[in-house]
Amino acid sequence: MNEEYRFGVMLITLACVFWALGSVLTAKWALGINYLYGAGFQMLFSGVVMLVIAALMGQHLHFSSFTGELWGACCTWYLSDLC
C-alpha cells in the first residue's frame, strides 16, 4: 500500500466501524427521536471531526481557485432551494 494513503485508509475503516456501532446502538436504545435527527447529528459530528483532522494535517481550501461562474452557480442553486 502507498504510504501516503495509509492514514486515510485507516480513518475510513475507523469511520465505517463507528458508523456501524452507532447504527446498532441507535436501534438497540430506541431513543424515541425522529431517525432523521439521528442521521443529521451523525453527519454533523463526523463533519466536525473531519474539519479538525484536516486542520491538524494542514489541509485547506483556496477560495481564490473558485471562478466567478462557480460562485454564480452555487448562489443560484442555494437561492433556488429557498423558494
Q: How many residues does the chain have?
A: 83
pLDDT digits (tens, 9 = 90+) for 35-70: 788 778 878 988 898 889 888 888 877 777 778 888
Give the per-residue pLDDT at 82: 67
Could you report how far apart the first and last alpha carbons of the chain are, in Å?
48
Q: Is 60 within 8 Å of 54 (Cβ atoms)?
A: yes
Amino acid at 35: Y
10 contacts: CB under 8 Å, gap ≥ 6? none
**Does pTM surpass 0.75?**
no
- Kindly state the cell numbers that stand for 7: 492514514
